[in-house]
Structure 1
Amino acid sequence: MVDEEELEVTISRLYQEHYMDVYKFLVCFSGNRNDAEDLTQEVFIRVLNHLSRYNHQSSIKTWILSIAKHVAIDHYRKRKFVTIFKEGFFKRMISTTQQPIDQMEEREMKKSVHDAIASLKPDYRSIVILRGINEFSVKETSEILQCSQSKVKVSYHRALKELKKKLNVETEEVLRHAR
């Protein structure tokens, strides 16, 4: 049996190491920073409650992100929200050297990309977030989503094809504006 102090140190370390990955995934999925913060807390509560069930078959990061996926799906089912991305969600520092027209075009493109990603079915959306935005490997994505690597590859390809069609742009352009 693990003593309480050791468990506290373990949870604290896991939280510090994986908080940002979980938070970024949940922000992408929920489209709302406040919801993502709440959901991130829920993920780490579940990690604490189920740490004894961790079987070391995958990395701890993969296991935690798998929990995050389930928390996100639960949230999605409860809310049945229509869109997951809000304007300005992926805001980056806008260069002061950009002309106002360039800034406006960039914002419009980001909004279009976010709207297109939001319109994808949940499986595609999850894969685009994990592979395209968070840049997880096919293997990590398959472990997090608990599906085969070939399903990840096929679904990612189809999701990008659908995004390209919706946006009438190249895939690299879609992913660049989603980050």
Structure 2
Amino acid sequence: MQEDIEQRISAIYHAHYQDVYYFLLHFTGNQNDAEDLTQEVFTRVLKGLAGFDGRVTLKTWLFSIAKHAAIDQHRKQKVKSFFSENWLMKLATKEGSPENVLTKRENVRELKQAIQKLAPHYRLVLILRCIEEYSVKETAEILGVSESKVKVNTHRALKLVKEMMDDTEEGGFLNEWARG
């Protein structure tokens, strides 16, 4: 019995570690925090596996645990940065003149600052929908809300970020990113 559980946990860990880690990396913006939280997620999985009833997919259950671990950390650290420069910088590294690259980097910096000002529930929905590219249904299951709530929060989060951006060129950059 114990050996079966260990094999199942090992299989779950190997199949989903990277996805959970990258989700938490996007949320925390820090590799060390993401690694620690990923380990916390799988510790919680180990403790809760017997109670997993299969009403949702295993991946949805894992991301729900990851979401709660991230929120728990946020409550403990309150003012920590949530987004890594790396994922935003990849938006600005398309071929182009040095001037274009600098402009895009500045846009990315301002976008990052705007997103960091959002409440955690808006940050989460942007990570899941716009960065991780989960469907509305998957995002709703992970966040434990209705699909309409996901749509509304995505719209509101993007609107808030757009309002925080200064000029229309940066707003255009945001629209390009959101369509991604």
Q: TM-score range by the shorter chain?
A: 0.7 to 0.9
Amino acid at match of 1:6: D
Cα deviation, residue 71, structure 1: 0.2
**Greater helix content:** 2
- 2:33 is aligned to 35
Partners of 2:12 and 2:110 lie apart in 1 by 35
Cα deviation, residue 91, structure 1: 4.1
- 1:140 is aligned to 138
**Residues 108-119 of structure 1 mapped to structure 2, 5 A cutoff:** 108-119=106-117
Amino acid at match of 2:98: P
Amino acid at match of 1:34: N
- Contact 2:29 2:85 (C-alpha < 8 Å) held by counterparts: no
**Residues 1-179 of structure 1 mapped to structure 2, 5 A cutoff:** 3-92=1-90, 94=93, 97-167=95-165, 168=168, 169-170=171-172, 171-175=174-178
Partners of 1:9 and 1:102 lie apart in 2 by 51
Amino acid at match of 1:40: T
Amino acid at match of 1:160: L
Deviations 1:35-54 (A, max 9, x none): 00110111011111110111
The unaligned stretches of length 5 or more in structure 1 are none
Partners of 1:85 and 1:61 lie apart in 2 by 22
Percentage of pairs with the same residue = 47
The unaligned stretches of length 5 or more in structure 2 are none
SS of 1:92's equivalent in the other structure is helix
Partners of 1:10 and 1:77 lie apart in 2 by 31
Amino acid at match of 2:152: V
Deviations 1:58-96 (A, max 9, x none): 00000000000000010000111253235345443946x
- Contact 1:83 1:115 (C-alpha < 8 Å) held by counterparts: no
- Contact 1:113 1:174 (C-alpha < 8 Å) held by counterparts: no
Amino acid at match of 2:149: K
Question: Which stretch has the larger CA shift, 111-120 or 30-39?
Answer: 111-120
Count of aligned pairs? 174
SS of 2:65's equivalent in the other structure is helix
Residues 31, 4 of structure 1: CA spacing in aligned structure 2 closer, same or farther, 3 A cutoff? same
Amino acid at match of 1:164: K
Residues 20, 81 of structure 1: CA spacing in aligned structure 2 closer, same or farther, 3 A cutoff? same
Q: CA RMSD in A?
A: 2.0
Amino acid at match of 2:81: T
Partners of 1:86 and 1:50 lie apart in 2 by 30
